[in-house]
Amino acid sequence: MKINGPWHKNHIMPKNATFEQRMKWHLAHQKHCACRPIPQKLAEEMKKKGLKFS
């Protein structure tokens, strides 16, 4: 997929991001860019916590 450069420029992942920050960033990324999937480890953690995403 094509990268949404403006979105990436304005939405930088914080350094040492918490689980909550990473989760929110990747969910927003999935809606606005989706140039790559949610990392497998993060997706697995989200599933364990009962969080739904597509």
Give residue 1's pLDDT.
Answer: 67
Please name the residue ranges forming H helices in 1-54.
Answer: 5-10, 19-32, 40-48
Amino acid at 32: H
The pTM of the full predicted model, rounded to 2 decimals, is: 0.86
Contact 4, 32 (CB under 8 A): yes
pLDDT digits (tens, 9 = 90+) for 5-42: 999 999 999 999 999 999 999 999 999 998 999 999 99
Contact 7, 33 (CB under 8 A): yes
